[in-house]
Amino acid sequence: MPQGLVAEPAQGTALADQFGRRVTYLRISVTEHCNFRCSYCSPEEGTPFFVRKDHLQAEEYDRLIRIFSGLGVRHIRFTGGEPLLHPQILSFVGFARRHGVGKISISTNGTLLGRRADALKQMGVNNLNVSLDSLDPEVFARVTRGGDLRRVLEGIDAAIRARIPRIKLNVVLLRQDNGDSLPALLEYAIQRGVDIRFIEAMPLGEAGADARETQFLSAAEAQQVIEQHFGPLQPVIRPADNGPARLYQLPAARSQVGFITPISDDFCATCNRVRLTATGRLVYCLGQDGGLELLPLIRGAASDGQIAEAITQGIWRDKPEHHHFVNDPNRSARVFMMRLGG
């Protein structure tokens, strides 16, 4: 056996790859459609049309969530596109709770959050990430190509009132668009007692590749800007299931500050996640388009056990050791961010 690899998993065991990483986190994209067209995520013309019959149906999501839970997945995040556009998003959250998933998260642009925050909390969402790249209405509208900042801020306040336990703001670092306003975004998070994550732009699809080329701002630079305003950040030990962010705390502030560094300091060695697209494709790595088509198995004669075995073997055999954002950007340029769900 090559050095660094581990033995093939026995049938029915928890999910792991050949590099010794356990997979306990599943990100589920429930739609490719979004009411924003963010400059680093979407083509300017928006998303292409996707045929509905090619999408997973509610009962198929229910079955797959049950299978993944049985394989040791303990954290499910619903993404998109914009997941709150899906009329059955509350049912999907209910599936995860019913099947014993302890950590249920949603990533949203926040536009529809004002009317759905209470219901999301009641159904069991205990982690919420809201995209917020600027507090300037004009900049926000430019980055999102038409987004209404007021509605997003109202949605964040609604989530706070609903007492969703953990709320995080996601800020994609864009040198020209928000490089000089990072302290203001952190101050906003502190005032509301929510966490904030600063994320390096990734070269996913043409939009992401362009943002990476023209607006890249490293997390190290962002941290330097923030510390010039707030003083030294104090490192926080990251919980095992808390994602890839390097976490810091400010003195006398409840909010945690995180930096996610897929480009400048990748976290592939500790990757514990896979992704499921709305068309039933299991994707092993955000930066590559390789994966396993589950829709034919779901709609064929495969049993739950056979589907679980296909998932287990696929992850062990094909989950790559690293992404290729830096040394082979053309590979990630083929990835359509709004289909994969981030």
Residue-level length of the chain:
342
Predicted confidence at residue 46, as pLDDT, reads: 64
Q: Quick one: DSSP state of residue 80?
A: S
3-state secondary structure 286-304: CCCCCEEECHHHHHCCCCH
Cis peptide before 81 (omega within 30 of 0): yes
Paired sense of beta strands 166-173 and 127-131, if any? parallel
Backbone angles phi and psi of 128, in degrees to 5: -135, 125
Rounded CA-CA distance 256/247 in Å is 7
Q: pLDDT digit string (tens) for 204-218?
A: 656 555 656 677 899
pLDDT at position 5 is 59
In the chain, % of residues over pLDDT 90: 69
Residues 6 or more apart whose Cβ sits within 8 Å of residue 319: 17, 18, 19, 21, 23, 271, 274, 284, 285
- Strands 281-283 and 273-276 turn out to be antiparallel
Distances from the Cα of 156 to the Cα of 130, 182, 242, angstroms: 8, 18, 21
Angle, CA 173 vertex, CA 133 and CA 231 arms, to 5°: 95
All residues at 6 or more sequence positions from 248 whose CB lies less than 8 Å from its CB, including other chains: 223, 233, 234, 235, 236, 256, 257, 258, 259
Q: What is the pLDDT of residue 202?
A: 77
Q: How many CA atoms lie within 13 A of 165 on its CB side?
A: 10
pLDDT score recorded for residue 13: 62
The answer to whether the predicted template modeling score (pTM) of the entire model surpasses 0.75 is: yes
Asked whether residue 185 carries a pLDDT value surpassing 90, the answer given is yes
Residues 7-26, mean pLDDT to the nearest whole number? 82
Count of CB atoms situated within 10 Å of the CB of 295: 16
Helix H or strand E encompassing 115: helix 113-123
Residue with tokens 């429930």: 30
For residue 160 the two structure tokens come to: 């706070």
* Best CA proximity match to 337, nearest among 194, 155, 210, 147: 210
Distances (CA, A) of 198 to 139, 232, 257, 281: 17, 16, 8, 28
Are 296 and 282 in contact, with CB atoms under 8 Å apart?
A: no
Which residues, other chains included, contact 144 with Cβ-Cβ below 8 Å and sequence gap of 6+? 36, 37, 38, 39, 109, 133
Which residues, 6 or more positions from 33, have their beta carbon under 8 angstroms from its beta carbon?
Answer: 47, 50, 80, 81, 82, 85, 338
Task: Give the tens place of pLDDT for each residue, 91-147.
Answer: 999 999 999 999 999 999 999 999 999 999 999 999 999 999 999 999 999 999 999
pLDDT at 306 over 90: yes
